[in-house]
């Protein structure tokens, strides 16, 4: 499907919420004889491309898995490089994202992050909070099981039973629409503790393309696959 054809698809048929597990940065760098952080740097450039393409299509919510609760186990040099890349990404791209009416939100526990990272995240959230366009959720120090347990504890503290819609208000996504389409790059075939509650009826798409090579064309290819499916939500 060509770009112009996809742009003309009725927005009702497109996924409203796309979630992406951005995997393969390290392997991409290794294949090129470069240190792993070089892959993370190039992966950050793909974020801008995919955000722009998603916004242009009219996608309502884009959630990107940037750093999991388990990623702290990686070598300190890699973790520190990711933190620096995150700050640079915000410094370099925030004005463009804000000008394109994107709303930036952060999913996860921000407390363990260094102060300079916290300051950058707060700046991004504050600068875009009054925008009205696509929501860009950046999942940082995020774990789906941890999110559910935290939400359960909040509900218990409020001392009342909750239904599904009530429960959603306790999640990091705070009543955002559920995930329609979950993409994972790099050939891995697992969810890795990502948006477990929100993805209950998501269509899943796995590609062997490494994240730094996942460009606008690859996104359109994935969405074309999504459009070929019949979503029944348990019905016939």
Residue 1's pLDDT band (cuts 50, 70, 90): low
Pairing of strands 203-206, 103-107: unpaired
User: Is the pLDDT reported for residue 234 higher than 80?
Assistant: no
Spatial CA neighbour of 135 closest among 21, 19, 222: 19
User: Is the pLDDT reported for residue 6 higher than 90?
Assistant: no
Q: Across the chain, what does the average pLDDT equal?
A: 95
Going along the chain from its start, the domains and CATH numbers come out as 3-7+19-227 (3.40.1180.10)
Quote the pLDDT of residue 235: 67
In this predicted model, what pLDDT tens digit does every residue of 71-115 receive, in sequence order? Answer: 999 999 999 999 999 999 999 999 999 999 999 999 999 999 999
Q: Between residues 8 and 118, which one has the greater pLDDT?
A: 118
Q: Which positions are annotated as active-site residues?
A: 23, 71
Chain-centre distance for alpha carbon 179 = 10
Is this prediction's pTM over 0.85?
A: yes
Q: Within 10 Å of residue 151's Cβ, how many Cβ atoms?
A: 18
DSSP for 130-161 reads T--S-EEEEEEEE-HHHHHHHHHHHHHHTTS-
In this predicted model, what pLDDT tens digit does every residue of 150-165 receive, in sequence order? Answer: 999 999 999 989 999 9
Q: Which two tokens stand for residue 169?
A: 């208000």
User: Is the pLDDT reported for residue 195 higher than 80?
Assistant: yes
CA-to-CA distance for 58 and 76, rounded, in angstroms? 38
């Amino acid at each position: 499907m060509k770009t112009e054809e996809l742009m003309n698809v009725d927005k009702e048929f497109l996924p409203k919420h796309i979630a992406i597990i951005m995997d393969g940065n390290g392997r991409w760098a290794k294949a090129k004889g470069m240190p792993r952080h070089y892959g993370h740097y190039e992966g950050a450039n793909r974020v801008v491309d995919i955000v722009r393409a998603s916004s242009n299509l009219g996608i309502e919510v884009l959630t990107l898995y940037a750093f999991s609760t388990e990623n702290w186990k990686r070598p300190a040099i890699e973790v520190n490089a990711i933190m620096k890349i995150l700050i640079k990404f915000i410094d370099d791209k925030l004005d463009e994202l804000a000008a394109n009416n994107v709303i930036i939100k952060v999913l996860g526990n921000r407390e363990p992050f260094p102060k300079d990272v916290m300051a950058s995240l707060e700046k991004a959230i504050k600068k875009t909070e009054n925008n009205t366009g696509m929501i860009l959720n950046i999942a940082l120090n995020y774990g789906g099981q941890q999110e559910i347990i935290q939400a359960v504890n909040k509900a218990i503290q409020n001392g009342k039973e909750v239904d599904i819609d009530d429960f959603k208000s306790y999640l990091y996504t705070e009543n955002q629409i559920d995930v329609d389409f979950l993409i994972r790059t790099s050939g891995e075939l697992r969810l890795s503790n990502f948006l477990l509650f929100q993805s209950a009826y998501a269509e899943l798409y796995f590609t062997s393309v490494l994240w730094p090579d996942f460009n606008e064309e690859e996104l359109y290819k994935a969405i074309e696959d999504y459009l070929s499916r019949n979503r029944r939500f348990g019905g016939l």
